[in-house]
Amino acid sequence: MQFLISMHINPAVLDALTDEEKEAIGTGHAALLAAVKESGELITTQALVDPSQAAVVRVRDGQPVVTDGPFLEAKEFLGGFYLVDCENKERAIELAAMVPDAAIEGLGVEVRQVMFADGPLEG
């Protein structure tokens, strides 16, 4: 079963972290990456740039209108994700709990099963 473990960041919360805390996040992700690579559960992971860099695209009357993002007026934004293939939802939750962000107040980690996938399967 494939799951998307998404990380919902709050730039204000991240800014307020101490250097030690930031470093702990880095090592925490490295440990998680090493673990899921070794177990063969990792499919891919991607981190996104700061939401202030986002562009919002709307097509109106066939004309694209591009404005500065982000799309949602929220405090938390999608910061990145892990795509894993693991035994079941319980295991996905176990992996999500290893994401260092999960231990920090104000940052969120969400787990959802993949329903459809497509892509360049042939090498």
Partner 1 sequence: MTAPRNNPVGDLLRALTPQVLGALLRRYGRFDGCEDAVQEAVLAAATQWPVEGVPDNPRGWLVTVASRRLIDQVRSDRARREREAALAAEVVPADVPDTDDTLVLLFLCCHPTLTPASQTALTLRAVGGLTTAEIARAFLVPEATMAARISRAKQRIRAAGSEFRLPADAELAERLRVVLHVLYLIFNEGYTASSGADLDRADLAYEAIRLARLVHAQLPDDDEVTGLLALMLLTHARRAARTTATGDLVPLAEQDRSRWDRGLIDEGTELAKAALAGPALGPYQLQAAIAATHADAATAERTDWRQVAALYLILSRIAPNPMVTLNRAIAVAELDGPAAGLDLLSTLDDDGRMAAHHRLLSVRAHLLERSGDLAGAYDHYRRAARATASRAEQRYLESRAKRLKPRL
Q: Interacting stretch for partner 1, rule CB under 8 A, among 14-22, 26-34, 62-70, 112-120?
A: 112-120
**Rounded Cα gap, residues 98 and 6, in angstroms:** 13
Contact between 46 and partner 1 by CB under 8 A: the answer reads no
**Rounded Cα gap, residues 5 and 46, in angstroms:** 11
Contact between 31 and partner 1 by CB under 8 A: the answer reads no
Residue 32: name the closest of 90, 82, 77, 88 by CA.
82
Contact between 111 and partner 1 by CB under 8 A: the answer reads no
Is residue 112 within 8 Å of 2, Cβ to Cβ? no
Contact between 110 and partner 1 by CB under 8 A: the answer reads no
Residue choice 40, 55, 75, 97 for contact with partner 1 (CB under 8 A): 40
- Sequence-ordered list of residues with C-beta below 8 angstroms from that of 68, at least 6 positions apart, any chain: 54, 55, 56
Residue choice 15, 18, 44, 64 for contact with partner 1 (CB under 8 A): 44
Contact between 42 and partner 1 by CB under 8 A: the answer reads yes
Site of interaction with partner 1 (CB under 8 A): 1-2, 37-44, 85-87, 113-118, 121, 123
